[in-house]
Structure 1
């Protein structure tokens, strides 16, 4: 019991300190929003730990732990508090960004998109915010497709930050979605020199698929090309996206009747650490098989990022209820432990027989 309680305290205290530092510039300009963020961020961290993770697994005394958790504010209550603070003082882009991330963590894609767009009204030239907003627009759209406005955001982010690898990657994704395969090849191949070797190898797989779709000849591998992969400069953010493919076991699908609107969560969390995710995406069962990329844009909390991890555990969870809370009837894939950066896609199969 002591270890579980201590972990809860450490999580909340750490989140409180980080929240206070992040919100410090708002203390004089907007005292109410400063107070709301300092209170809400730790609540969001603890609530997310309870919702997506499995804290009971850390403590055999689950009855006592459960009674403690029941007294904690829910994610929804924390969001209500932040929304109330923003209603009183709406000219706070960081508050809107935090609200958008909270909605994204709960799978409220439309509300996350709207909150990101409101944040952009206040700071339209923030490259990372432009990327988050563009990704949120895609996640809220049918088939996770980037519309024209999202593409414009990605191009603006890249213009503001020409070395932004995520912006360039996403532009290639948009081009692939639109059948502009040759353009995607050009976009991604121009990104290769900036990547570390493992990440470049993973991207080359995507490029080869795009070249085939475009009817282009296979890319010629040369010794010079292999040796020209640039070493990232200290301080640069490396491309640490994790490609994950999720499928449904055919035998399981034949035996069990599943609703097409059931929800699949794809989760990456620090290996050996707390079960709070560092990246999570929510998809409909009918979208399977999935071929997605988890990255820092999928991180529900800015204090825990995928790119900061050395090793992560990746799982897929099928939730018939559509709730992020782990339910008794949920189906999980076998977890896969991955050292970052990953050089190959991660394959997760829901309903596969246990070896």
Structure 2
């Protein structure tokens, strides 16, 4: 925008210079006319003096009549030539300053009106209001795609940049593009070798790609990562989440406590402590969220960054639910990574029940519900006890739920 206004200023200055140039030239001519008047008078004086000298010479006999007439004509011719030049300069009139002033005002007024009324002034004003945030009109998914495109361009420009590939891999996980994330981490390892800090994120991407379930291939990568660094935060975080999802709270606590002993400085210890506290609460309550209404007062102080969910079972599928089955309630971001920002495990026997999802139910140091304005809610009743839905499980969903709201989630679908 500075360049735009600089261009406007330059064009305006050129136009004004064109208007005022004739005035300045005539002013210069007027100054020259004053000098011409002096020169004309000097020439006349010299002519009279020279004529008197000739008359004296004629009277004293130094020249004859014919010579006198010739010299006189020569003097008159010289005087005529000189006075013609000075008369031409003196004929220039004094310029008026009124005309260039009128032209200048008219130029600025017409140009300003044309741009304001017929141009794009209003569009520029609108753009200027939002100029503080050039991406203010983009939704989170568009921002994520823009960020991914920029990072992809960076690795294309420098394929040997291991740090760029590493960042791109994590960005792919956030965008739920797990296949691409795995390839990105493989590319990093081809450049710098296989290390725990790379194997852990790769295993995490494979875990989500596999429906949040472990398999022998993922387990082999996990073991390789732990052999390289037994305290690797990303690997231990994955193992802790998997243990939590499978109601193995003691194992989850063990993995997360190991993270706290890691010398790594990029560990969010407060979030890890919150996850451990959540696991201990589930362990003490036998896997169910006891007295959830009592917890509602706690997150209220967090500025409404909670969701209160009443979970119910639809009448037409009640016969398909066993009272001993586990019920998982997840809150996931509307866009971005599929990793839950809050999770609760209940028992079907407790339905209907009310649950408050807040930061104390987060499963990752970097993924908390308070960082979002909306979430998608998913409730599954799993016959096999795993959090990922399988055929025959029961499912209920609510999309784009505003934080701070109180909603009812009905489990009404049988997974095919």
The bucket for the TM-score relative to the shorter chain is: 0.3 to 0.5
Larger Rg belongs to: 2
Greater relative CO (CA pairs within 8 A, separation 6+) = 1
- Say which structure is richer in helix: 2
